[in-house]
Amino acid sequence: MIQAKQIQLARLALIVDDQEINRDVLGVILEDSYDVIYACNGKEALTAAHDNLDRLAVILLDLNMPVMNGYDVLEYLRDNEQLKHIPVIVLTSDKEAELIALNMGAADFIPKPFDVHEIILARVNRVVALCEGRQLINETQTDSLTQLYNRGFFYYYADQIYRYHPEWHMDAFVLNINSFHSLNELNGWEFGNRLLREIGEEIRIFLEQTQGIASRFEADYFAIYCQHCEDYNSILERIQNRVNHISGHNNIQLRMGVMPWMEEVTPTQMFDRARVACNLIRGNYHTHLLVYNEAIRLRERYETQLINELNHAVESHQFQVYYQPKYDIQCDPPRLNSAEALVRWKHPEFGMIPPADFVPLFEEKGLIYIVDTFVWRQAGRQIAAWRDKFGFTLPVSVNLSRSDILNPDLEKTLFGVIEESGLSPKDLKLEVTESICTDDAQRMISVIEKLREYGFEIEMDDFGTGYSSLNMISLMPIDVLKLDMKFIKNIEANTKDLRMVELILDIAKYLGVPVVAEGAETQNQIKLLREASCDIVQGFYFSRPLPKEEFETLIQSELDKGRVNVPADMISS
């Protein structure tokens, strides 16, 4: 109760009249509900208004006054950005003046001579309440940085258009800034904010020429809902041009996803699809605009189904672990040295799904840990089963995604795997791709260092495919380097590629890091790699990835031929 009165009293009313008696009467009427200040003419009134900007709730304004009259005050207020939101109630005895004042932006009027006091107070209160309500609506409807609608109101209005104007064929656009995060970091928040404001402003100008609404959904995601036009590119171009003007030395690239009008597709669905299109071209430096199409829709449906079925698929053993052997090619004949565990999804409807279909998807959705922990556990049990069967340990490497490394449970999970099967950390090697270090390299490196201290061996997978270069080897603490298959593919035909492989092998040797070459398919490739002193090869030449039963047969047959690397310390007692 006390609090309510304090808030009420904190509102300020400015009474402007040259007649003292009028000021006094109004003061008495308002003083229980407002803090009241007074002015005798327009000039004093404007000074008082500016001095009390943050508290002023209402101005009661006489029209005929010396020095500066009420009309001039109204005109001034109408053009002043800071003051134009403050409601003005004119005090007048003349009908014609009343009309002029209302047309000049007055919110209401109080006739002179003053009437029943309660009515005057109720009138003032109503104007104040209305005005505060309107301001609140304005504030909650729009994003303060760009003045575009916020997401909630945007959808509210988009739904209204969809429902009540089905004859307007509205397209949905989602616009985003490539690498906005880095731009912000590099140039500061103020630069980022300016960029967002400029984009908002250009969208508003564009919408003045067509029917439509726009929003900043969040961060650097903008949404535009506007009447169908043929030339999507020109919309992107005009906003891009505006951005180019302020980009300075930065190369700022926008991208846009479009969902063209389609009967019976709601605004929410339209924008979900436009956003999918927009995200599909993230990181693609040649395509800046993508229109959602049937192929994307089918792909999306497929991916959604995979995501929804993930947990059930793990429980019902639809995921299977295959093993691909790695051979030591410096022995003659080459010897089975270790293996890589590679996951497969045997799906009841889609058949065998390759990891390329779901690993990147689950990585993006933060779900890969579910698959990977399953694979690690299976691989751990398999290593133990073969150790028990064959009497020695064949090390198996498993793949770790970037998000696995950031997972706070990683160490616990890996130790769980090791302990459950009675293994030592060096039996389960960990493959990480060099791309894990694209950002927050320090954090990644510290996790990897810790894993190495525990005894796990780290293999750098797909070396040469990312941004990193040879100096990554010295930055990242690794035990083995896996040369990506793209290097091996052409070593027979292209001497340049062969030179490259030889060079990498030389440097790796100098640094004391053994190299595994991936993807060797022919005998000649093996020969060239051996001559370049590559240690280990994993490739179809030796074997494709095999189900565990077939891999077991392979171990047995290689054992029978004496073609297995069984280091002394691996022979179990």
Note whether 205 and 150 are within 8 A (CB).
Answer: no
Residue number with the smallest Cβ distance to Mg ion: 431
Task: Provide the edge-to-edge strand list for the sheet that holds 221-227.
Answer: 212-218, 221-227, 170-177, 254-259, 289-291
Q: Which alpha helices (H) appear in 454-484, and where do they start and end? A: 471-475
Residue 225 φ/ψ, nearest 5 degrees? -120, 105
Q: Which of 354, 366, 391, 547 binds ligand C2E (CB under 6 A)?
A: 354
- Least distance CB 340 / Mg ion (angstroms): 6
Q: Which is nearer to Mg ion, 431 or 457 (CB)?
A: 431
The residue from 461, 472, 526, 564 that contacts ligand C2E (CB under 6 A) is 461
Which pairing describes strands 170-177 and 56-62: parallel, antiparallel, or unpaired? unpaired
Q: How many CA atoms lie within 13 A of 459 on its CB side?
A: 26
- 375 near ligand C2E, judged by CB under 6 A: yes
Of the pair 50, 544, the CB lying nearest ligand C2E is at: 544
- How deeply is 398 buried, as exposed, middle or buried, from its count of CB atoms within 10 A (0-12, 13-18, 19+)? buried
C-alpha 375, offset from chain centre: 28
Nearest CA among 115, 36, 45 for reference residue 74 = 45
Judged by CB under 6 A, the chain residues 237 through 256 that form the site for ligand C2E are: none
Judge contact between 316 and 348, C-beta under 8 A. no
Contact pick of 100, 296, 359, 370 for ligand C2E (by CB under 6 A): 359
Residue 317, both tokens: 């053993």
Asked if residues 158 and 267 have their Cβ atoms less than 8 Å apart, the reply is yes
How many residues line the site for ligand C2E (CB under 6 A)? 24
Residues in the chain, overall count: 573
Task: Sketch the per residue contact string, 524 through 543, with ligand C2E: x for CB under 6 A, - otherwise.
Answer: --------------xxx---
Residue 263 backbone dihedrals phi, psi, to 5 degrees: -55, 140
Binding partner of residue 540 among Mg ion, ligand C2E, none, CB cut-off 5 to 8 Å per kind: ligand C2E
Do 395 and 427 form a contact (C-beta atoms < 8 A)? Answer: yes
The site partner of 535 among ligand C2E, Mg ion, none (C-beta below 5 to 8 Å per kind) is none
Looking at the Cβ atoms of 153 and 541, the one nearer to Mg ion is 541
Applying CB under 6 A, among 355, 416, 466, 514 the residue interacting with ligand C2E is: 355
Q: Does 479 bind ligand C2E (CB under 6 A)?
A: no
The letter for the amino acid at 342 is L
The site string for ligand C2E over 173-212 (x = CB under 6 A, - otherwise) reads ----------------------------------------
Q: Does 518 bind ligand C2E (CB under 6 A)?
A: yes
For Mg ion, give the closer residue by CB, 518 or 558: 518
Contacts 24+ apart (CB under 8 A), 544-551: 544/324, 545/322, 545/323, 545/324, 545/340, 545/342, 545/344, 546/322, 546/323, 546/324, 547/320, 547/322, 548/321, 548/322, 548/323, 548/382, 551/322, 551/323, 551/325, 551/339
DSSP states along 108-156: EEEESSP--HHHHHHHHHHHHHHHHHHHHHHHHHB-TTT-SBPHHHHHH
Q: Does residue 356 touch ligand C2E according to CB under 6 A?
A: yes
State in angstroms the smallest separation of the CB of 512 from ligand C2E: 23
Closer to ligand C2E by Cβ: residue 220 or 431: 431
Binding partner of residue 368 among ligand C2E, Mg ion, none, CB cut-off 5 to 8 Å per kind? ligand C2E
CA 392 to chain centre: 47
Residue 135 or 524: the one with the smaller Cβ distance to ligand C2E is 524
| Residue 519 contact among Mg ion, ligand C2E, none, beta carbon within 5 to 8 Å by kind | ligand C2E
Residue ranges in 408-437 that form contacts with ligand C2E under rule CB under 6 A: 431
401 binds, among Mg ion, ligand C2E, none (CB under 5 to 8 A by kind): ligand C2E
Number of other CB atoms surrounding residue 317 within 10 Å: 10
Closest CA to 258 of 284, 281, 283, 285: 281
Region of 4-12, 89-97, 388-396, 514-522 interacting with ligand C2E (CB under 6 A): 514-522
Q: Say whether residue 357 binds ligand C2E (CB under 6 A).
A: no
Binding of ligand C2E at residue 466 (CB under 6 A)?
no
* Interacting span for ligand C2E (CB under 6 A) from 19-27, 185-193, 220-228, 353-361: 353-361
CB of 570 to Mg ion, least distance (A): 22
The answer to whether the beta carbons of residues 59 and 49 sit under 8 Å apart is yes
User: Using the rule CB under 6 A, is 372 a contact of ligand C2E?
Assistant: yes
Q: Which of 399, 403, 468, 565 binds ligand C2E (CB under 6 A)?
A: 399
According to CB under 6 A, which one of 201, 479, 502, 521 is a site residue for ligand C2E? 521
Q: Which of 239, 245, 223 is nearest to 288 (CA)?
A: 239
**Which residues bind to ligand C2E, rule: CB under 6 A?**
324, 342-343, 354-356, 359, 368, 372, 375, 399, 401, 431, 461-462, 485, 518-521, 538-540, 545
